[in-house]
A = this chain, B = another copy of it.
Amino acid sequence: MRVLGVDPGLTRCGVGVVEGLPGRPCKLIGYYVVYTDPDDDIALRLLRLDTELAALVAEHKPESVAVERVFSQHNVRTVMGTAQASGVAVLAGARAGLPVQTYTPSEVKAAVTGSGTAGKAQVTSMVTRLLGLDAPPRPADAADALALAICHIWRGGTRARMEAAVLAAKRRARR
């Protein structure tokens, strides 16, 4: 399963592509940060983000897209731009006909570190280890996007295993 994770942001948007199967080690395909100029018009910035995300989806052909959910407890000055960027990211996946799943920051942290309150450094360190990288991915936006992709593969896997277990139990019950 190949997943494209997006840590949405207007000035810096992290994108990470990971391949893997539930319960198996994941493989890094690539990571990127899309930058847009804060001095540019909002329309130009969202258009650039849309164009870059569409290009990355076309290049990597992921089977699904995972986007971090935005909360309003963040910095009020920047949260509107982040929310607009997340809308564009979700749309980029949907327009390519892909399933899009959103995860809260604590779901992602819990998936890769075991703790929903882990810090940025811990997330980066676990992403580096889980993907078997020689050096941590930089900047942190890229590491967060990779963590999202890993979270989606593993949680999708958990769900698939649970569904399989439920099916197996039903089959046993029928015998």
Contacts and interface: CB of A to CB of B under 8 A. Distances in A.
Interface in A83-119: 83-88, 90-91, 93-95, 99-100, 102
Interface in A36-71: 41-44, 46-47, 50, 70-71
Contacts of A93: 43
Say how many copies of this protein the assembly contains: 2
Given A83-B84, A84-B84, A84-B86, A46 B76 contact: no
Assign chain A's interface to a size class.
20 to 34
A103 to B, nearest CB: 12
Contact of A83 (B83, B95, B102): B83
Contacts of A95: 47, 50
Contacts of A86: 84, 87
Interface centre among A50, A72, A83, A86 (most CB of B within 10 A): A83
A75 to B, nearest CB: 10
Interface string A8-37: 000000000000000000000000000000
